[in-house]
Amino acid sequence: MTSTAKRRRPRGRPSLAPYLILTPAMVLFALFLALPIGYTVYLAMRRTRVSGLGLGKGARREVFVGFDNFAAAISDGELWAGWLRVLGYGALVLVVMLGLALLFALLLDSARVRLARFSRIAIFLPYAVPGVAATLLWGFLYLPSLSPIRAVFDVDLLGATTVTYSMANVAVWGGVGFNMLVLYTTLRAIPRDYYEAARLDGASELQIALRIKIPMLVPAIILTTVFSIIATIQVFTEPATLRPLTNTISSTWSPLMKVYRDAFVTGDLYSAAATSIVIAAISIVLSFAFLRVVRDRAFGEG
């Protein structure tokens, strides 16, 4: 109380400092996030109209078309075929990748594992491999002329049906380590006394994992799932990199590949903008739907 008088800056008087410190972030936010989003919405509602023969000045005009591009994007069969492929691929990646990440994290955290440090580093290592390089490595491992896998199993790893699994394998390989680390770090933060108490009560390691560890991991599992959903829906690098090695991947294999083709190959920016908003909307809706489903169960602060 008495010290208030001595203070040069009395408590409670708002200072300009935080606003000044946050200025760079807000400027970047405006320029590279808000403006591009606004511009996408703007583009998605416009289209070039050609009048007459399309020759001469003013024959090509950009006009406002409202939701026409969205309607076209939503009724586009090619896009939906892409969605179906990505949904199948994504479900596979999410279940296998997060399942393995959870399993490895729990195993690492159990007291009796040997070589835990080596395994942890090895499993996290693919995180340091760029998606392009990872796809390239696996792509060559799938190639009939080089594949050591083909020497053991006689399957065409780049066939029309198998290619989805082969691609999912690349994503699982690249993502399992990071997700494992997130879950493992969360596990290490749980006070050890919990387990001691459970052990004294006669609980087995498996029971401890199922009854104590997994429930406490729920918020971290939710976080990794939401991030994985967003990343999986936007899959682009893996199919684009694998494409030169096989003819089973079309230029519109995933929705994002179709956006790229529309924007830069066929030059239809307006439909690319509309499609990318549809992709964003679907990934946000799926993330929120997922959050809603699990929110009632346990959603810790943080």
Min dist CB 102 to other proteins, Å, is: 12
* 164 versus 271: smaller Cβ distance to other proteins: 271
Q: What's the number of CA atoms in the CB half-sphere (13 Å) around residue 135?
A: 22
The residue whose two tokens read 């040997």 is 114
* 162 versus 234: smaller Cβ distance to other proteins: 234
Min dist CB 282 to other proteins, Å, is: 9
The residue whose two tokens read 């969605």 is 83
Decide: residue 221, CB within 10 A, 0-12 exposed, 13-18 middle, 19+ buried. Answer: buried
* 122 versus 160: smaller Cβ distance to other proteins: 122
CA distance 219 to 295: 9
Min dist CB 66 to other proteins, Å, is: 19
* 36 versus 88: smaller Cβ distance to other proteins: 36
* 51 versus 99: smaller Cβ distance to other proteins: 99
Min dist CB 159 to other proteins, Å, is: 17
**Residue 9 neighbours by CB under 8 Å, 6+ apart:** 15
**Residue 104 neighbours by CB under 8 Å, 6+ apart:** 119, 123, 176, 180, 184
Q: Where are the beta strands (DSSP E) in the chain?
A: 46-50, 60-64
Residue type, 156: D
CA distance 166 to 160: 11
Min dist CB 91 to other proteins, Å, is: 18
Decide: residue 116, CB within 10 A, 0-12 exposed, 13-18 middle, 19+ buried. Answer: middle
CA distance 193 to 105: 19
* 55 versus 139: smaller Cβ distance to other proteins: 139
Min dist CB 194 to other proteins, Å, is: 17
Min dist CB 184 to other proteins, Å, is: 9
Min dist CB 197 to other proteins, Å, is: 20
* 52 versus 145: smaller Cβ distance to other proteins: 145
Which letter does DSSP use for residue 58 in this model?
Answer: T
* 26 versus 84: smaller Cβ distance to other proteins: 26
User: What three-state secondary structure class fits 144?
Assistant: coil
How would DSSP label each residue in 13-48? ---SHHHHHHHHHHHHHIIIIIHHHHHHHHHHTEEE
